A and B are shown apart, each in its own frame.
Chain A
Amino acid sequence: MSNKEDQKSWAQKVEENPVLFTEAIEALLISRVGSFVFINESNLGGDLTANGLYYDPDGNDGLLAKIIKVENNVSVSPESSAPDNSDYVVSGHISIIARILRFDGGKSLAVDLQEGYELTHSFSLTHEIESLEDNELCDVDNNPIHFLSDEQLLAVHEFVKNAVVGLGKFSLDLG
């Protein structure tokens, strides 16, 4: 289905029941709360040191974070005054807030991955919904945000388990 068709499909649903649209987004956003993501550290400024943060072992400078909150202020309404009578007015923003997990006992850092991603037309909303459905987010600087696979999550668990033992050896080596 092309973007244009997709837009129309959403538009028809909105026409039938405008609340449906907002509810669908809401459900989709909520289902992502609690998900783990690797986010690009360039978003975070110079506040973080490498030690104590879990990095994506495959590179990409991704840091482990957990989505702790989503905020949806999007509203969709038919625009009867639009020339072709098929446009919908989309306004508001979506915020996805994640907390970076650290194991050095330091203060955790919550970051707004999208910093109130502004939606002003139906295409950008459709695009955003598709991204969420495909677990493919981008931050405000267009850096990809990777959702962790089950295997990656297992690797993190394994790391935590091993670190407890490994730290004892590390301390011994430090003398």
Chain B
Amino acid sequence: MSNEERQTSWFRKVEEDPLLFNEAIEALLGSRVGSFVFVQTPHFHKDYEVNGFYLEPETEHNVLGRIMRVENSITVQKDGDYFVSGKLEVIIKVLRFDNGASIESNVNREDLDSPYELLQFIQMLEDNELDDGSGGQVEFVTEDQLLLVRKFVENVPLGIETFFRDMTSDIQTQPLKQE
């Protein structure tokens, strides 16, 4: 379906029931709450430290976050043409395991003022493709990636013990070769 066809299709629905549009967006946004995402680290500027954050193994520059809530203040009105106004926000929390204060961040704040922009945003959500508003990509975490995270969490308690032991134990040195 072309963009134009999609637009017409949506508009027809709005014409039948203007509330439907908002409900559809609401449902789409709502369905993303609880999803895990990898967000680009530059987004966090100075707050970001490597240790204690789960980094995407592929790039090492994206941190694991979870969508906490979405806020939708979009209104669609018809007065001959359709008018779209308002904004959509996706708020995530960056997950960290160093017991530091969690970081909530607005990764996607879209001010929409045309039906085309709204349609684009809906398309992005349907395709699980968000943008952090500064050009950075927000990637939804796949099942396989999530399994890796869980495995990591399982392994860390034992790993921490080893880590601590390695830090504190005396190391046996082999006698050095004498010339």
Seen from chain A, the residues whose Cβ lies within 8 Å of a Cβ on chain B are 22, 26, 29-30, 33-34, 36, 49-52, 54-55, 57, 66, 68-75, 92, 99, 101-106, 108, 156-157, 159-160, 162-167, 169-171, 173-175
Complex-state Cα separation, A92 to B176, whole angstroms: 14
Give the most central of A73, A102, A108: most B CB within 10 Å.
Answer: A102
Give the most central of A55, A104, A164: most B CB within 10 Å.
Answer: A104
Q: A55 to chain B: closest CB distance in Å?
A: 4
The total of chain B residues at the interface (CB under 8 A) is: 41
- Give 24 A-B contacts (CB < 8 Å), ordered by A residue: A26-B178, A33-B173, A36-B167, A51-B54, A52-B152, A52-B156, A55-B50, A71-B177, A72-B177, A92-B179, A103-B159, A104-B159, A105-B159, A105-B162, A108-B166, A159-B51, A159-B52, A160-B167, A166-B96, A166-B97, A167-B153, A167-B156, A173-B93, A173-B95
Complex-state Cα separation, A166 to B32, whole angstroms: 25
Contact across chains for A170 and B176 when beta carbons are under 8 A apart: no
Contact across chains for B156 and A33 when beta carbons are under 8 A apart: no
Complex-state Cα separation, A161 to B82, whole angstroms: 57
B158 is an interface residue with CB less than 8 A from chain A: yes
Contact across chains for B166 and A101 when beta carbons are under 8 A apart: yes
Q: A24 to chain B: closest CB distance in Å?
A: 12
Q: A43 to chain B: closest CB distance in Å?
A: 16
